[in-house]
Structure 1
Amino acid sequence: MGLLDQILNAVNSSDQQGSTGQIASILSTVQQLGDSYGADPSTVQTALSVVGNHVRSALQQKQANEGFEQAQGLVNQYSGTYPNPQAVDAIFGFNQVQQVVQAVAQRTGLDAGMIQQMLPILVPLVLNFLQTGTTSQQQGSNPVLNTFLDTDGDGDVDIADAMRMAGRYLS
């Protein structure tokens, strides 16, 4: 099952935190972010995709070194729709931040300074999207995060595509 399927299941499940309101809030924040920085929505989605790939790598490393609960803990603690510089620091080290900024700049053409300002919003948005699958019943059970971390290794994960499709679902 793909990431979008897991998110839609989370939205439709009473056992998981996901809701149409949560997804709508994330999508609205992405739109506002583009408006605030004068970037078109496709550029912001590309930036989100690049950031999402780096978040996935960081969470995979966290999971491998400290366990799934630690990765889930970062998702729970730092997800949101408001700027949170601590989320960036918790997920990436300083050198990683520079790598993320360079990768986003190369893919989008956005100014590195602008990207640096956007990261405290983009990282919590990615984490908020992942939090949709959090359950209140079982520890270690977040199918959205599991799929995002691509535990089966098929490489078929892109947060921006899943968000775009979720937006179509809500429309």
Structure 2
Amino acid sequence: MGLFDQILNAVNDPNLQANAGQLANIFNSVQQVQNNQGTDNSTMQSALSGVGSLVRSSLQQKRAEGGNQLVESIINQFAGTSPNPSAVNALFGSQWESVADVVSQRTGIDRNTILQMLPMLVPLVLNFLQAGNNTQNPQGENPVVNNFLDADGDGDVDIADAMQMAGRYFTQ
């Protein structure tokens, strides 16, 4: 089951945090970042995909070091719709410039633009993942995070694609 399907299931599951309002806020925030940066949809999708890929790698490493509880703690602490440099630090430490270089190389987007976008995009990606939190037990298993971290190992995960599909679905 794909990440988009997990999001739809989370919205339809009253035990999970996801709701149309939360997702609409995320998409509105992405649109605001896009407008503030003067980028088009394609550029924003590339940026989200590149940042999402590195967030995924970082969360996989955090999970290997401290288990699912550490991953959930980071998501719960730093998810949001406002710029948050602490979210970037929590995932990447002092490696901001390296992260920006990688995203820039993958996407063709200027590294300075990526540096400006990181504190805005990382909390949005984490907020998107938070949609799978169990409302009764926030430290319980999060199927959205499990799918994002690709628990089955098939490599078929892209946060930008899932957010784009969910955005179309929830903003109709």
Secondary structure class of the residue paired with 2:18: coil
Whether 1:54 aligns to 2:45 is: no
Matched, 1:107 2:98: no
Structure 1's unaligned 5+ residue stretches are none
In the alignment, is the contact (CA less than 8 A) between 1:19 and 1:132 conserved in 2?
A: yes
Structure 1 counterpart of 2:37, one-letter code: Y
Aligned equivalent of 1:137: 136
Identity over aligned residues, as a percent? 59
Which stretches of structure 1, 4 residues or more, deviate above 3 A after TM superposition? none
- 8 Å CA contact 1:50–1:100 kept in 2: the answer is no
Tell me the C-alpha RMSD between the 2 structures.
1.1
CA separation in 1, counterparts of 2:43 and 2:76?
27
Kept in 1, the 8 Å contact 2:84–2:119? The answer is yes
Q: What residue in structure 1 maps to residue 40 of structure 2?
A: 40
| Structure 2 residue 16 is the aligned partner of structure 1 residue 16 | yes
Q: Which runs of 5+ in 2 are unaligned?
A: none
Aligned pair count reads 170
Code of the residue aligned with 2:131 in structure 1: it is T
The residue aligned with 2:156 is 156
TM-score, normalization by structure 2: 0.94
Partner of 1:120: 119
Verify the 8 A CA contact 1:45 1:160 in the aligned structure 2: yes
Q: Contact 2:78–2:84 at 8 Å: present in 1 too?
A: yes
